[in-house]
Structure 1
Amino acid sequence: MKKTIKLAVVAALALGTTSAFATNGSNLIGMGAKTRGMAGTGIGMSHGAESALVNPALITSVKGTEISFGGTLFMPNVKNTNDLGAGGVSADSDAKMNVIPEVSLATKVNDNFYWGVGMWGTAGMGTDYRSSKDIASGGTQMQMVTNLQLMQFGVPLAYTMEGVSVAITPVLQYGALDINYNSTGLPGGDKVGAGIAQDLKFGYNLGLSYQTSGITIGATYKSQIDMEYQGQLSNAMQAFGLTGYTNDKLSTPAEIGAGVSYAFDGNTIAIDFKQIQWSKAKGYEDFKWDDQNVISVGYEYATADWAARIGYNYAKSPISEQSGFAGSLTAPSSGLINTFNLLGFPAIVESHYAIGGTYNFSTTTSLDLAFTYAPEVSNTYTNFTTVTDITTKHSQTSASAQLNYAF
């Protein structure tokens, strides 16, 4: 059974050419075109079936049964410059495009009970410097390829009474991770890579909402999901002489959030706040990622035939420069942390701007579109030699489309 599920997920992920860069750390700012059109806002505002993985308590807004399916075309632009083994060599990552799928269904059983099912690409990150030179030839990116992909299957179950809704979504998460590079010229250097490692683990999401007189208040909690990718991080440390580093865990962090929206005369204003707890997630804690406080603000104007949306999302990068030698054979040094974060996992973008809309073809069928943009951020840290620098520049664009059918 587990093998069958993995094969199904791999087939869905095969729509993409490389791993996705997400936006708040390695997490997408939102799942679904309505949410993304408002820059991830959705904890305190219902988006129908799409709400299943944002705040499952809000699927109680569907009138019968609603199905949404679509995806996001994600286009990161990453450039790295560093002095590792040569002077100021630059290279562009070839991980420039990925398709992230999303399918959601929610249905009303009776006036109090709702349930649904969905499959969502939720997170990922990666770079691809295979076309750059190896270190022996004067390159400094080690021809590094990193590729993390996460997909979740969930079954939201919601109960509502007198404006109060509570919900739980049991989640089955599939993850795949591949880290490989050519470290010839470094201590113990050679071609490093264990092939793609996969894992399948359970978690859960909790949701709460209260609706009255145009005001919706919501709260969510997402559990940490402990993933382990055999031979990935432990092998990746070899080029830096850290042969005693054995941790292959890379957990999906816990999240806690709250949101509120106010609707009047076709207008809806929404604001969300959530904390992503990277510092407590296995793997990310080794690479000194900080917790992220994420603020999302969105606006929607809706008529019977169409809707327009805009939004803004901000979260300070979870990656900060590490200084001093704080490592051993079982923990990476600060310079290694800086190098690995900026070269392999450069999740440094902070501001995100969004625009979107919906066109209703009929009372049952509609199309959602969204476009998001994260302007370029540039970070320069000390690399693993502790005497030279590594710089990464990173920006993102994405386009989302989703078809909805209600009956």
Structure 2
Amino acid sequence: MSRGIKKSLIALSVSGVLFAPSAFATNGYFAHGYSTTEKGLAGAGVAHSQDAMAIATNPAGIAGMGERMDVGAALFSPKRSYTTSGAPSDQCGAFGCSFSLTEGEVDSNLELFLIPHFAYNWALDSDTSFALAAYGNGGMNSNYKTGQARFSPAQDGNFATFDGTFGANVAGGSGTTGVDLKQLFINASYAIKLNQEHSVGASLIFAYQTFEAKGLEAFAGFSSDPANLTGNGPDSSTGFGVKLGWQGKIAPSVTLGASYQSKMSMGEFDDYAGLFAEGGGFDIPATATIGLSWKTSDKSTLVVDIQSIYYSDVASLNNSIQQMLPSSGLGLCNPAASPAAGPGCLGGASGAGFGWDDMTVIKLGYEWMSGDMTYRVGVSNGSQPIPDGEVMFNILAPAVMETHITGGFTMPLGSNSELAFAAMYAPSNSVSGGNPLDGAQTIEIEMDQIELQATYSMMF
């Protein structure tokens, strides 16, 4: 292939990824995997790198890898809903009046997303490589066009019902409630073999994220900056991070791997400084992964990864909704002030958030060769990050998935090209908890997912 054609393919592939950031929400809001080969193994691969996209999991994996390009896309379909049980109480007390959701089930629309990816590895010599990749890290998306809220806007006992899950039309809005967070990584990695058994690698990662919220007008009384709470269109922020990785063969058939991605300090979402803690802060949490690859025969391999995601390091994700509620007794927000005053108010230094816990995911995969084909299956499981006392805000981000079941294959298309395919099914999971603003109600959030991904690879 001529140098000009290669450059054109690279430019076209990168452009496609840059203009279509992701909308994942699988392990919390991180993807269950990145490369198609790893996704067929439930995302496992920190010790088993097979293509240039491996740098998204472990940059050490490209050491000694030949020159290649991997480009593809996923079709991701999440189905999200919430169900409210219990009639609105319509009560007022010392800490204000109740805020209730009308009974019944409400579904989020927008159930199909196209998520492209691209990676290219340059073999600098037999022991060193440099790779560049662009891919989606994760995201949260919800869009509830129906649903209603019942509350007393003046906190005077005069209750009314408003269209929109969180009273979106209280200020004349359309009634649609939801959020849209998208994140894009551009990863530049270098790796070197220290000897025949061990390799190390490092990545410099540029992150770009966009966010939009709509239909949150009913929470204006709890915001330190209500003008920058909701309905301000898409906003963006950028930041940098690093990923470090190692792979080492400890026995003829066993390889270990480990990687760590730093927390990324992102710029603030200024247009949502009245929603996210710390004046619009929304950093990307650190992750750490360890794993092994065991070549069980000449034609089969078993892989196991354990990944930790540190959501507790990000205030907007980890802080509880209790931070803003006078009834909690914390005294961190005074909604009687105008605007609301105190560090626990939305947008405050200790502002209320989604209440997410850290998450640990175990991934198990198996692949085998049959003729020219390579087949893969996998399963992963991890405790979802949302406590049952935090379900109200997480209607916006019902990231409750715990189990992913996967399968896939790689098929050669010629001497220098191949096609990889992976499918994922995440069975429905839900979390139920009380409405913190109306003790008479219970809210259940639920999601299930399907994903199909394909990658075309060329070796040079």
TM-score (norm 1): 0.85
User: How far is the alpha carbon of 1:27 from its aligned partner?
Assistant: 0.2
Structure 1 residue identity aligned to 2:263: Q
Distance 1:9 1:110, change over 3 A: closer
Q: Distance in 2 between matches of 1:70 and 1:268?
A: 24
Q: Distance in 2 between matches of 1:185 and 1:168?
A: 43
Mean alpha-carbon deviation: is it higher for 212-221 or for 252-261? 212-221
Answer yes or no: is the 8 Å Cα contact 2:101–2:149 preserved in 1. Answer: no
Answer yes or no: is the 8 Å Cα contact 1:48–1:61 preserved in 2. Answer: no
2:73 corresponds to which residue?
A: 71
Structure 1 residue 399 and structure 2 residue 452: aligned? yes
Distance 1:185 1:256, change over 3 A: closer
Which deviations, in whole Å up to 9, do the C-alpha atoms of 1:266-306 show, x marking residues without a partner?
10100001111111123212232111111000000124521
Alignment root-mean-square deviation, CA = 2.5
Matches within 5 A, 1:249-398: 249-263=281-295, 264-286=297-319, 287-303=354-370, 305-322=372-389, 337-341=390-394, 343-387=395-439, 388-398=441-451
User: How far is the alpha carbon of 1:200 from its aligned partner?
Assistant: 1.2
Q: Distance in 2 between matches of 1:9 and 1:339?
A: 38
Q: Distance in 1 between matches of 2:55 and 2:198?
A: 16
1:325 corresponds to which residue?
A: none
Give 1:222's match in structure 2, choosing from 261, 264, 268: 261
Q: Distance in 2 between matches of 1:262 and 1:11?
A: 36
Give 2:55's match in structure 1, choosing from 42, 52, 60: 52
Matches within 5 A, 1:1-12: 12=17
Q: Distance in 2 between matches of 1:229 and 1:148?
A: 13
User: How far is the alpha carbon of 1:338 from its aligned partner?
Assistant: 3.1
Give 1:178's match in structure 2, choosing from 212, 225, 245: 212
Structure 1 residue identity aligned to 2:77: M
Q: Distance in 1 between matches of 2:437 and 2:423?
A: 40
Give 1:120's match in structure 2, choosing from 105, 119, 135: 135
2:243 corresponds to which residue?
A: 205
Q: Distance in 1 between matches of 2:101 and 2:399?
A: 25
Structure 1 residue identity aligned to 2:72: G
Answer yes or no: is the 8 Å Cα contact 2:138–2:182 preserved in 1. Answer: yes
SS at match of 1:288: coil
SS at match of 2:23: coil
Which deviations, in whole Å up to 9, do the C-alpha atoms of 1:140-188 show, x marking residues without a partner?
3543120111110011100102221010010000111111115359858
Structure 1 residue 26 and structure 2 residue 29: aligned? yes
2:165 corresponds to which residue?
A: 140
SS at match of 2:316: coil
1:152 corresponds to which residue?
A: 185
User: How far is the alpha carbon of 1:397 from its aligned partner?
Assistant: 0.6
Q: How many residues align?
A: 375
Structure 2 residue identity aligned to 1:74: F
Answer yes or no: is the 8 Å Cα contact 1:32–1:400 preserved in 2. Answer: no
Q: Distance in 2 between matches of 1:68 and 1:270?
A: 22
Q: Distance in 1 between matches of 2:436 and 2:303?
A: 43
Distance 1:10 1:378, change over 3 A: farther
User: How far is the alpha carbon of 1:13 from its aligned partner?
Assistant: 5.7
SS at match of 1:20: coil
User: How far is the alpha carbon of 1:137 from its aligned partner?
Assistant: 4.4
Mean alpha-carbon deviation: is it higher for 301-310 or for 373-382? 301-310
Which deviations, in whole Å up to 9, do the C-alpha atoms of 1:303-329 show, x marking residues without a partner?
45211000001110111123xxxxxxx
Question: Any stretches of 5+ residues in structure 2 without a counterpart?
Answer: 1-12, 89-98, 151-160, 168-175, 320-353
Q: Distance in 1 between matches of 2:371 and 2:122?
A: 22
Answer yes or no: is the 8 Å Cα contact 1:67–1:106 preserved in 2. Answer: yes
SS at match of 1:361: strand
Answer yes or no: is the 8 Å Cα contact 1:91–1:141 preserved in 2. Answer: no
Mean alpha-carbon deviation: is it higher for 75-84 or for 161-170? 75-84
Larger CA Rg, structure 1 vs 2: 2
Which deviations, in whole Å up to 9, do the C-alpha atoms of 1:211-248 show, x marking residues without a partner?
251321101000001224424554348xxxxxxx6531
Distance 1:349 1:14, change over 3 A: same
Answer yes or no: is the 8 Å Cα contact 2:45–2:57 preserved in 1. Answer: yes
2:280 corresponds to which residue?
A: 248
SS at match of 1:35: helix
Question: Any stretches of 5+ residues in structure 1 without a counterpart?
Answer: 1-7, 238-244, 323-336
